[in-house]
Amino acid sequence: MNKAILLGTIGTVPEKRTTQSNKTIVTFSMATNKVWYANNKKNTSTEWHNIICWNISDALFECLSKGTNVLVEGEIQHQQYEKNGEKKSHHQIVCNSLHLAGGKRNDSKESSSNLNVNDAYNDVDNLDDIPF
């Protein structure tokens, strides 16, 4: 089984491209953090991952930006290539499922964990305009 599940923060502005066959590709880098304690001292390390997503909706793409917290489920893909006569390789995560995981870092006002349903109703001028 080849499965990766990552919870982290988008580190670059997501790029959207369309293939000749009209399929959408979104790519971005993502940081995941590891925290551990040794000798009563907090230690952290950050790993960077290249993410490639196929056929993401425009609505979801509009929600993605540098600093957005996301949950990515996908497969690890290893690619080898040659550049200037030198063999190179890299890994990327081919995303099968992408979920928003709260608001942007340090943005407590818009964070989904801080949203209050009653506040949403207070922002509506006319309840008859709500489509449900």
pLDDT tens track for 79-121 = 898 989 999 998 999 999 999 997 655 544 343 433 333 333 3
Q: How confident is the model at residue 58 (pLDDT cuts 50, 70, 90)?
A: confident
In the CATH scheme, what architecture does the domain 4-106 have? Beta Barrel (2.40)
pTM: 0.71
The 3-state secondary structure of the chain reads CCCEEEEEEECCCCEEEECCCCCEEEEEEEEEEEEEEECCEEEEEEEEEEEEEECCCHHHHHHCCCCEEEEEEEEEEEEEEEECCEEEEEEEEEEEEEEEEEEECCCCCCCHHHCCHHHHHHCCCCHHHCCC
